[in-house]
A and B are shown apart, each in its own frame.
Chain A
Amino acid sequence: MKKYTYLVLGFLGFAALLTSCGNGNQGKGSSGALNSSNAEKVYVAPGEHDEFYAFMSGGYSGNLTVYGLPSGRMFKEIPVFSQFPTSGYGYSEETKPMLNTSHGFVPWDDSHHPDISQTNGELDGRWIFINGNNTPRIARISLTTFETEEIIEVPNSAGNHSSSFVTENSEYVVAGTRFSVPIPQRDMPINEYKGNFQGALSFISVEPEHGQMDIKFQIIMPGFNYDLSHPGRGKSHGWFFFTTYNTEEASTLQEVNSSQNDKDFIAAINWKKVEEFVNNGGGTKMPANYAHNVYDESTHTATSTMKKEVLTVNPLDVPGAVFFLPTPKSPHGCDVDPSGEYIIGNGKLSADLTIHSFDNMIAAIEGKKFDGEAYGIPILKFEDVLAGTVKSGGLGPLHTEFDGKGNAYTTFFISSEVVKWKLGTWEVIDRKPTYYSVGHLMIPGGNSRKPFGKYVVALNKITKDRYLPVGPEMEHSAQIYDISGEKMELLYDFPTHGEPHYAAGIPAELLAPKSKKFYKLSENKHPYATLGANDAKVVREGKDVHIYMSTIRSHFTPDNIEGVKVGDKVYFHITNQEQDFDVPHGFAVIGANTSELLVMPGQTKTIIWEPKQVGVWPFYCTDFCSALHQEMQGYVRVSPASSNIEISWSLGD
């Protein structure tokens, strides 16, 4: 009997072992199968193309990076607000004016929120806009050349953060100030902030055909912090919504002092009404000083113009144009669903999301149900405009995007997760952790009337332990989730460059076919272009020496130059004669106090070289252009300042 008992126990134990083993295996097995199918979902075979472009802001890199989804492969870094020695952007004579501002040459910025132009509320893929946060600027980037074409400085603004979001037909790209400042700027005590500082919300018109930007008007608002914004769409087209914090108007220790009010506001702006007001001659022209920098594709050259005036609007002069919607807990992201009905305030210090209803807002305005005013601007009653609350159990909601199928996805920074919830019922459907501390998220078209709800990309603030360690400083991480099913599924991690504050995605087929391959030499209108090797020459104008140089695989014309003297200012104007896709030539000369040039086929670029030492100094092509790339080199003879050697040049003599 005893023996039997042991046997039974033994059997049971063995069975338990088997079961647990089986469970373990099953668990591993299924996660293995899951992983391999997830691998397939992000695998883009060699030679195949990604399904989406993703444009990630570079944050403190000042630039914009281009990725493919779902692979997470980086294709390009587009220089926008920061000098970029890789191509010579901001170093070449042609592109230096792009970084001109009222503060002089500013070679860096903090780029934040890319937004793709829209037509009828849908992505049209013509341009992408992005804001410079530090020295307030808005840039427009062409989505045929993937180059920055225009940068406009925003006066009366500081911390250009609630930017650069476009209206439904790209009528305006909107820029709001995060930091309120004295308008106009003046010397005054900081502690007199309250009631004296103001916040400018700038509506920058976009010329429909060529995209040229112009500040149409600035609404001068009370001195709150205008954090983020989004346009109305569909039925709410014509309105723009801005979250605010620091309605306390504190000027010091804002971490605490700006967080005292239980509710801050979402400012609802009826821009159509303001537009009508200014079109009828309303508003006040105010002296200003701001740079407008435009790059011309035919001259391959940027010009900077200082503008001296801006049209400002006092919101009290346009009754019915501006209202405040009380929104709890220092809301950060301000997102509008694809139908235009719901305005989501992501109260970053709370656990809940506040959703306002556009219809309720209009009804409250029409019923004049106000709950007081702030600096004369009517405040609507919270309960009257509220559509619902998402009780998530998460902490620190920041941003929300939409999948076009009635769902919303919100990032929670503090609890480090993405939460999927249903519009209208406000129920939480799913939640998935992020690694770690997600900030923005992006669904291609996720802030338009027509999202492409297949993937969501989480843009994380903290990366530690997800990649091989590379010292204290590392890149921020992005994570891609499959959202085609009911539950989100984490597919892949990939590093981004800089700190991505928001991103914009678009189906590849909207952009890829129209991506430019090269510039036509016959359309090159650069004043120093060398259109054929026979036009190559060297011209002395006093101390300035202009070298008109052409490049073709694989030689420079000319490649021997004499007659340059110490103290000269030598301009190398390099024209790439190639007319084929992906055949750039580079140019670098020893001791140049600037970057190289990377010259695309058909393009002309210029750098200045000021030789300080007598000698024979080489220059060469920096981009491996052909089997004879190493032979692509030349010499400049630099003689003493007192020398009387005449300028001469040659090739093959």
Chain B
Amino acid sequence: MKKASFLMIIGPLFLLGLFAFPLWNIMLGAPQYPEPLGMNIHISGIQGVSEFDLQNIDGLNHYIGMKTIPKPGEMWEFDIFPMVIIGMIALGVLIGLLGFFGKVGFKWFLGWFLLMSILGVLGMYDFNEWLTDYGSNLDPHAIIKVINEDGTPMTYKPPLFGNQKMLNFDVTSLPHTGAYMMFLGMTLTLVASYLGWKSKSSAEKQESKEAVAA
């Protein structure tokens, strides 16, 4: 149980990586952009991969009537997400410490993992909603309006995950370092849950053996 608790303390601390590294990254390459434009999505805001990338993406997007990329303060998520992450880190470390002193069991570890997973899925859902709005809620006075073959106006939602061709751009959307650290930290808490469960069940077996022996 000591080993499990230790992992349960370490795991949530990996989420601190989200404050230093991007959660997600979207790159836009095109023949005329041999060095692709890119945005890094941090939990506290969106940054360009190179200094002027956001400005240049906005410059291109204005042709097709997309809104400008939100600045921190323009989206509630960038205020709330950091607080949620800090809260979850504190909660996870606390559970780990309590586990260490034998106050709580592996179910709490698992509980933290499940709560974090639900929050993660909600976060992804919210992110996808924003991408959809960003890519399809277009200015009716846009300079360039492209119509699909079926007659509907073309939308420009970047992919949530993976690669997609959009007009002349190849758009690639993938998790970044912050996300990988979060996944690693969450996996550690899952391992902690498993170890906790194993040590508990072996302790129970030991107990029952001892009981049998007695």
Contacts and interface: CB of A to CB of B under 8 A. Distances in A.
Interface in A494-552: 552
A228 to B, nearest CB: 42
Contact of B143 (A579, A581, A628): A628
A580 interface: yes
A578 B35 CA distance: 17
A603 to B, nearest CB: 15
Contacts of B51: 579
Interface in B37-67: 51-52, 55-56, 59, 63
A553 interface: yes
Contacts of B144: 627
Interface in B50-103: 51-52, 55-56, 59, 63
Contacts of B63: 626-628
Interface residues of B, number: 9
A628 B56 CA distance: 16
Contact of A553 (B35, B52, B59): B59
A552 B143 contact: no
A579 B56 CA distance: 7
Interface of chain A, main secondary structure: loop
A199 to B, nearest CB: 52
A245 B103 CA distance: 101
B169 to A, nearest CB: 14
Contacts of A628: 63, 143
Interface in A577-602: 578-581
A531 to B, nearest CB: 14
Contacts of B56: 579-580
A625 to B, nearest CB: 11
Contacts of B35: 581
A116 to B, nearest CB: 27
A581 to B, nearest CB: 8
Contacts of A627: 63, 144
A428 B8 CA distance: 80
A524 to B, nearest CB: 14
Interface string B14-45: 00000000000000000000010000000000
Nearest to B51: A579
Nearest to B56: A580
13 contacts: A552-B59, A553-B59, A578-B59, A579-B51, A579-B55, A579-B56, A580-B52, A580-B56, A580-B59, A626-B63, A627-B63, A627-B144, A628-B143
Interface of A: 552-553, 578-581, 626-628
Interface of B: 35, 51-52, 55-56, 59, 63, 143-144
Given A552-B59, A580-B56, A580-B59, 5 more contacts: A579-B52, A579-B56, A580-B52, A627-B63, A627-B144
